[in-house]
Amino acid sequence: MNGMIRGGQLDRSRQVALQVHEILRERILKVQLVPGTVLSRASLQLEFGVSQTPVRDALMRLQEESLVDVYPQYATVVAKIDVDHARQAQFLRLSIELEAVRRLTTDAPAETAAELREILARQATVATPETYDIFDSIDRDFHRKLYERTGILQLWASVRRQSVHLDRLRRLHLPMPGKMQTVLGDHETIVEGIASGRLADAEAALRKHLSGTLSNIDVISSEFPTYVRV
């Protein structure tokens, strides 16, 4: 991983500041821009071919999400991963998704399980270190489906906004040996619990799954000591 900023293509029919924010946010979440990376406004203006205003607005949005630290008259740098913020996001997700699983075990469980199995089958084909980026994207598809099937899809966007630091931790954890296989196993147990109406099994698997990264915070912090603020 490195902190190099790579060029982004902007759609001039959309708001420029929003696109710059989206691109930089994605780089931070994927840890392509590592904590401590200095974000030069002049360099960003040159890269994206825009004026100072959209760059400033994009960085302000990132600051509001606690993804960058702004030091006036000095520098804007990519913030460290905030573990306390990640724990609160985990609490939010666990609260919502446990209720979603509870409902899905009684409301059309066979249909839900069939759709989740299709996603799980796709995810299993990319469970390799070389394709963990795709694996992570499909992982989000799996959880998004829980919200969709429960009829609370609007909450998904809110949860995603609150999960930025948890997502950054997961990106560090995912390539570690055995993590992807554990994710697949947890997903399979969740699906089978829903399909068979075994709520306790599905809930236990979901608790274990959503706690996996934070339960390994010592390992992650040891591997990436300059990335994490405990």
pLDDT digits (tens, 9 = 90+) for 156-195: 999 999 999 999 999 999 999 999 999 999 999 999 999 9
Phi, psi (degrees; rounded to nearest 5) at 197: 75, 15
pLDDT band at 213 (very low <50, low <70, confident <90, very high): very high
Q: Domain segments of the chain: what residues?
A: 16-79, 82-229
Q: Report pTM.
A: 0.88
CATH class of 82-229: mainly alpha
In the block, which residue shows the tokens 């960058």?
A: 68
Instruction: Give me the helices (H) in 65-178, please.
Output: 83-104, 109-124, 132-150, 153-162, 164-173
CATH class of 16-79: mainly alpha
> Contact, 62 vs 28, CB < 8 A?
yes
Helix axes 41-48, 52-64, angle to 10 degrees: 120
